[in-house]
Amino acid sequence: MILPPATLGMLGGGQLGRFFVSAAHEMGYKVWVLDPDPNSPAGLIADRHVAAAYDDYAALDEMAQGCAAVTTEFENVPATTLDYLAKFVPVHPSASAVAVCQNRVAEKTFLADNGLPHGPFAVIRCEENVRDADEALFPAVLKVARFGYDGKGQARVANREEALHAFHQFGGESCVLEKMLKLDSEMSVVLARDEAGAVRCFPAGENSHRHGILDVTIMPARIEPVLAERARDVAQAIAERLDYVGTLGVEFFVCGGQLFVNEMAPRPHNSGHHTIDACVTSQYEQQVKALCGLPLGEPRAHSAAVMVNLLGELWYDDNGDYREPDWSVLQAIPNLRLHLYAKHHARPGRKMGHFTVIGEDAAQVLATAMQARAAIGIRDDEH
């Protein structure tokens, strides 16, 4: 077991890393963050911020020397970086698990090979693959295999010609072509798995997106209990087959009453932010525990919760002028907790913060959260 006051290493300095740093600090650890951005949200509160690229081997050597174990919050950390660090210190999750989750071709192929539920898709590496793709896939979504997030690197395509066009627009990079599913709803399961194979699942969350970016998570998800149970089983099976150690997020589509895995995130997940305020143990504490070889904590929710993301457009008024949103509106609500990430500059679509409303009555929590969402200025007419 790695015990306090050991120093832990975090690759990536975004908000997920920032919450990891906070959790680790509360538990008595020190944290070094590696992120090239001098203003990274996690770097700002870390005991040490190594501002260097993920493939800067001198910086990696420093991390290996200074940290008792290393984890990541950023799925695009090169697998070679994780492999390199693993020669010197424990690294969780492993390079091989991250490699599957960071590439949509590898991810979809993993699901297919393991008999896990997924939607119809084709791997696209060249024009011929588009020409040969099953007609039944259209209308479809073409997604670049690597580096897409928050709906970036995706194009909705009605037919083969549009798919070819989008493939060229993406520079001929490897892609997956997914059938556009008619979604009843979207949900996610966040879990933690330790080195001995013990798994603790948080209750499933129900997610809604705007412009391809997570907007609201409702926990517990308003779905049939059997579906929630099935989602947990599938998420657990994924973690086991990846021999995953750490916190893992699995996104699902519910379509025609059936469950399909959309994608996996080898890190805490945006839809698990509510665990900070509504669960006995948060997804970030679990990440610390799994990394350090401590027994995992109880994931039980003590409250119903609704989480609302605060995106950069909120920082612009109707005239397009930059200004801070009026936080007093949210602070007036006693069962609401506001989390801001201290990002340097707000851009539209950028995740700047979130709030979580908790309470006993799930319907009341949802009503309060949606009122707060409107009051702070999030409008649905921009769909």
By CB under 6 A, how many residues form the interface with ligand ADP? 17
108 labelled as ligand-binding?
no
Single out the residue of 94, 262, 286, 368 in contact with ligand ADP (rule: CB under 6 A).
262
* Range in contact with ligand ADP (rule: CB under 6 A) among 9-17, 27-35, 70-78, 173-181: 173-181
Please report how the helices 15-26 and 283-292 are oriented relative to each other, as an axis angle in degrees rounded to 10.
70
Give the one residue of 23, 99, 133, 141 binding ligand ADP; rule: CB under 6 A.
141
Q: Of 54 and 253, which has the nearer Cβ to Mg ion?
A: 253
Q: Has 151 been labeled as part of a binding site?
A: yes
Closer of 206 and 251 to Mg ion (Cβ): 251
CA atoms within 13 A on the CB side of 6: 17
Q: Is 209 in the site for ligand ADP (CB under 6 A)?
A: yes
Least distance between Mg ion and beta carbon 262 (Å): 6
Q: What is the dihedral of CA 337, 330, 326, 152, to 10 degrees?
A: 60
Residue 10 known to bind ligand: no
Burial of residue 224, with CB atoms counted within 10 A of its CB: 0-12 exposed, 13-18 middle, 19 or more buried? exposed
Closest to 324 in 3D by CA, of 333, 314, 332, 334: 314
What is the distance between the alpha carbons of residues 155 and 225, in angstroms, rounded to a whole number?
A: 33
149 forms part of the interface with ligand ADP (CB under 6 A): yes
List the interface residues with Mg ion, window 50-69 (CB under 5 A): none
Q: If binding is defined by CB under 6 A, does position 165 make contact with ligand ADP?
A: no
Question: How far is the CA of 24 from the CAs of 30, 176, 259, 341, 350, in angstroms?
Answer: 7, 37, 34, 17, 25
Phi, psi of 291 (to 5 degrees): -65, -40
The amino acid at 242: L
Is residue 151 near ligand ADP by the rule CB under 6 A?
yes
Interaction partner, residue 186 (Mg ion, ligand ADP, none; CB < 5-8 Å by kind): ligand ADP
Among 106, 181, 294, 338, binds ligand ADP (CB under 6 A): 181
CB closer to Mg ion, 186 vs 194: 186
Partner from ligand ADP, Mg ion, none binding residue 178, C-beta < 5-8 Å depending on class: ligand ADP
Query: In terms of Cα–Cα distance, which of 210, 209, 208 is closest to 219?
Result: 208
By CB under 6 A, residue 263 contacts ligand ADP = yes
Under the binding rule (CB under 6 A), the answer on residue 180 touching ligand ADP is yes
CA-CA distance, 84 to 89, in Å (whole number)?
9
In the annotated binding site, the residues are: 104, 143, 148-154, 178-181, 186, 209, 262-263
Q: Which residues bind Mg ion (CB under 5 A)?
A: 251
